[in-house]
C-alpha cells in the first residue's frame, strides 16, 4: 500500500487529496477530516521522540483537508515541492498545547545545583503566570520556581529533598485543568505505608490452626542468670533517644559552616578591641532624624555612621582593604562594604557597592533595601558577591563583646556590639556614658598590629566626633 501511495504522489496528483483519500479508506475509524483555510504556503507540523506520538503530523494545505500520515511518507512529498516551509515543535503530552512544564531557573554563575526545599502548592491547585510553586535552596540564596503559564498543577515530577539543576523539570501544569485532581499529601503517604488488606482465604492460609503438642516439663535450672545490676546514682544518665530530633542541615547552613571553618584554617586570625563613646553620634541622630526623614524618606540610623567611619579608615589604611592571592597582594582602590544580616534561614552578607561614593542617605537606603530582601529571601546572588570589608552588628541581639570571623576572601571584619551606659571619666568627672565595644579581626599574615590598631582608632575618632568627616581630619 505504501508503494501505491508513493506512485500516486510521483504521478503529479494532488498530494493532499491522494493521501487524504487513501488513508481515509485504509482507516475508517479516523474522524472525518475538517476543512482548513491555511495560507498559500504549505506547512508540516510533526513531533520528535515522544513514544506513540512519533508519527503524529499535521498537514494543513491551502484549500485542502487536514489528515494524518507517517512522517517518513511526508518527507518524500516535501522533497518534490519547493514552495514549502517546515516547522517542528516538540511537546511532552498527547494533548497538544495544553500541558507545560515548570523547570528550575538559572541560579547564578557560581551555582550549579540546589536542593528542592519545599512545594508551595499541591497537585490540583490553580496557579497564575509567574506564581511561585516551589523553592530551591542553594548555598547562598533561596530561589523560587515559578509557573510558566496559568493553569492547574497536574503533578509534581521531583520530590522534596532532591538535588536539582537549572532546567530540571519540577511540575506539570495543565492550561485547561484536565487530568488534575486534588491530592492530600498525608493520604498519599498513608496509602503507601498501609499494605493491602488480605482476603479471608489468605488469612486462613497465613494463620493455620496451631497444633497442640505435649512437651515434658523441664525444671528450672539452678544456675539461672542474675538480674542486671542497677546503675548507681553517680553514673551519668543519658537522655532517651526518643527525646532527640535529627534533621538534615540546609545547604545555606552547610555553606556557612564550610566557609567559616576554611577561614579558621587559612587565616592567621587576630582580634584587637577598643571602646567608643556614642554620645555625639547619638546626639547627631536625635537632632536631625526628623529633618533627615522628611528630606530623604528614610530613617537616620547608627549604621551609616559606622559605614562612613570604616570607609575613612580603609582609605587611610589600604592594607586592610587588600587581600592575599598566592604570592601577591591585591590592593583594591574601591570600597565594597559587606553587611552581615542574620535571617531565619541563616547568615547572608549583602554588599554595598562603591560605598565610598555614597552619602549618609544613600547608605541608609541601600542597607534597608538589602536587609528587607535578605529577610524576605528575595536577595540575588549578585547582591551578595564580592565585598572588600565586612561589618557585623551583634549589638542588635544584645551581644556585649565578641571576636568575629573573617568572611573569605576578605582580610578583616569589624564587629559592633550593644550600647551600654557605663561610668566614664570625662574632664576629671565620673559621668554615665553610652559606650560600645568594637572589635577588629584581621589576617595577621597580611596586616600588622600597628595598622590594625590605627584602623580601629580611626573608627573610634570618627564615631566620637563625626565632624571629622566634614573636615577630613
Q: Indicate which residues carry an active-site annotation.
A: 444, 448
CA distance 397 to 410: 24
Closest CA to 120 of 147, 100, 141, 98: 147
The conformation of residue 32, written as its DSSP 8-state character, comes to: P
Other C-beta atoms lying within 10 Å of the C-beta of residue 65 = 18
Q: Which residues contact 241 (CB under 8 A, 6 or more apart)?
A: none
**Backbone conformation region of residue 12, classed left if phi is above 0, alpha if psi is from -120 to 50, else beta:** left
CA distance 120 to 133: 5
| Cell numbers given for 308 | 562612613
409 preceded by a cis bond (ω within 30 of 0)? yes
**Could you tell me how many helices (H) and strands (E) the chain has, helices first?**
11, 22
For the chain, the C-alpha Rg in angstroms (whole number) is 37
Residue 397 to residues 124, 277, 346, Cα–Cα distance (Å): 43, 20, 15
Cα(68)–Cα(72) distance, integer angstroms: 12
How far apart CA 153 and CA 127 sit, in angstroms, is 7
In terms of Cα–Cα distance, which of 86, 66, 62, 65 is closest to 75?
A: 86
DSSP 421-441: EEEEEETTEEEEEEEEEEEEE
**Nearest CA to 15 among 71, 70, 80?**
80
- Give, in order, the Cα–Cα distances in Å from 129 to each of 9, 101, 123, 153, 238: 46, 12, 16, 12, 54
Its sign, for the CA torsion 27, 29, 31, 32, is positive
Amino acid at each position: 500500500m505504501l508503494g501505491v501511495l508513493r506512485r500516486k504522489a510521483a504521478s503529479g496528483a494532488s498530494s493532499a487529496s491522494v493521501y487524504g483519500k487513501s488513508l481515509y479508506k485504509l482507516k475508517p475509524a479516523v474522524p472525518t477530516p475538517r476543512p482548513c483555510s491555511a495560507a498559500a504556503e504549505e506547512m508540516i507540523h510533526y513531533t520528535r521522540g515522544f513514544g506513540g506520538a512519533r508519527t503524529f503530523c499535521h498537514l494543513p494545505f491551502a484549500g485542502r483537508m487536514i489528515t494524518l500520515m507517517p512522517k517518513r511518507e511526508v518527507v518524500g512529498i516535501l522533497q518534490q515541492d519547493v514552495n514549502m516551509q517546515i516547522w517542528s515543535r516538540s511537546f511532552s503530552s498527547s494533548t497538544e498545547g495544553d500541558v507545560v512544564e515548570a523547570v528550575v531557573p538559572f541560579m547564578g554563575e557560581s551555582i550549579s545545583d540546589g536542593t528542592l526545599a519545599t512545594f508551595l502548592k499541591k497537585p490540583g491547585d490553580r496557579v497564575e503566570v509567574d506564581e511561585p510553586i516551589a523553592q530551591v535552596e542553594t548555598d547562598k540564596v533561596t530561589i523560587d520556581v515559578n509557573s510558566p503559564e496559568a493553569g492547574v498543577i497536574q503533578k509534581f515530577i521531583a520530590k522534596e529533598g532532591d538535588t536539582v539543576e537549572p532546567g530540571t523539570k519540577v511540575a506539570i501544569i495543565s492550561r485547561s485543568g484536565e487530568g488534575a485532581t486534588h491530592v492530600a499529601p498525608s493520604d498519599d503517604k498513608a496509602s503507601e505505608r498501609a499494605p493491602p488488606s488480605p482476603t479471608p482465604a489468605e488469612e486462613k492460609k497465613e494463620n493455620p490452626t496451631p497444633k497442640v503438642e505435649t512437651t515434658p516439663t523441664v525444671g528450672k535450672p539452678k544456675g539461672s542468670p542474675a538480674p542486671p545490676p542497677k546503675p548507681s546514682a553517680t553514673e551519668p544518665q543519658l537522655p532517651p533517644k526518643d527525646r532527640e530530633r535529627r534533621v538534615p542541615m540546609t545547604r545555606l547552613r552547610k555553606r556557612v559552616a564550610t566557609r567559616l571553618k576554611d577561614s579558621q584554617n587559612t587565616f592567621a586570625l587576630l582580634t584587637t578591641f577598643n571602646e567608643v563613646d556614642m554620645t555625639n553620634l547619638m546626639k547627631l541622630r536625635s537632632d536631625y532624624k526628623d529633618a533627615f526623614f522628611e528630606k530623604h524618606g528614610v530613617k537616620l540610623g547608627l549604621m551609616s555612621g559606622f559605614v562612613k567611619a570604616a570607609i575613612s579608615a580603609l582609605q587611610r589604611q589600604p592594607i586592610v582593604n587588600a587581600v592575599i592571592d598566592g604570592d601577591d597582594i591585591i590592593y583594591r582602590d574601591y570600597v565594597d562594604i559587606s553587611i552581615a544580616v542574620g535571617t531565619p534561614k541563616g547568615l547572608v552578607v549583602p554588599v554595598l557597592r562603591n560605598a565610598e561614593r555614597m552619602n549618609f542617605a544613600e547608605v541608609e537606603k541601600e542597607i534597608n533595601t538589602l536587609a528587607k530582601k535578605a529577610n524576605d529571601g528575595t536577595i540575588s546572588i549578585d547582591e551578595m558577591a564580592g565585598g572588600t570589608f565586612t561589618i557585623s552588628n551583634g549589638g542588635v541581639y544584645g551581644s556585649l563583646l565578641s571576636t568575629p570571623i573573617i568572611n573569605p576572601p576578605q582580610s578583616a571584619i569589624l564587629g559592633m556590639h550593644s550600647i551600654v551606659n557605663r561610668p566614664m571619666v570625662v574632664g576629671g568627672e565620673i559621668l554615665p556614658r553610652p559606650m560600645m565595644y568594637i572589635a577588629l579581626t584581621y589576617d595577621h599574615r597580611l596586616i600588622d598590629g600597628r595598622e590594625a590598631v590605627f584602623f580601629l582608632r580611626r573608627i573610634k575618632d570618627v564615631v566620637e566626633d563625626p565632624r571629622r568627616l566634614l573636615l577630613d581630619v
